[in-house]
Amino acid sequence: MIYKYKWLIVFLLGLVLLLLPDRGKPVFKLNNSHGPSLLDLAGLSMIFASWVTGIIIIVKNWSPLTKRSGAGVLFSMLLVYILSIIGIIAGLNLSSEWILWISAAVAAFINVSFIISALRIEINKT
Per-residue pLDDT of 87-111, as tens digits, reads 988 888 887 888 888 998 898 888 7
pLDDT: is 88 or 124 the higher one? 88
Q: How many domains does the chain have?
A: 1
Residue 1 pLDDT > 60: no
98-118 core/surface letters (b: 16 or more CB in 10 A; e: else): ebbeebbebbbebbbebbebb
Contacts of 83 (CB under 8 A, 6+ apart): 103
Residue 86 pLDDT > 90: yes
**Residue 86: domain span:** 2-125
Q: What is the pLDDT of residue 102?
A: 93
Cα distance between residue 69 and residue 98, in whole Å? 31
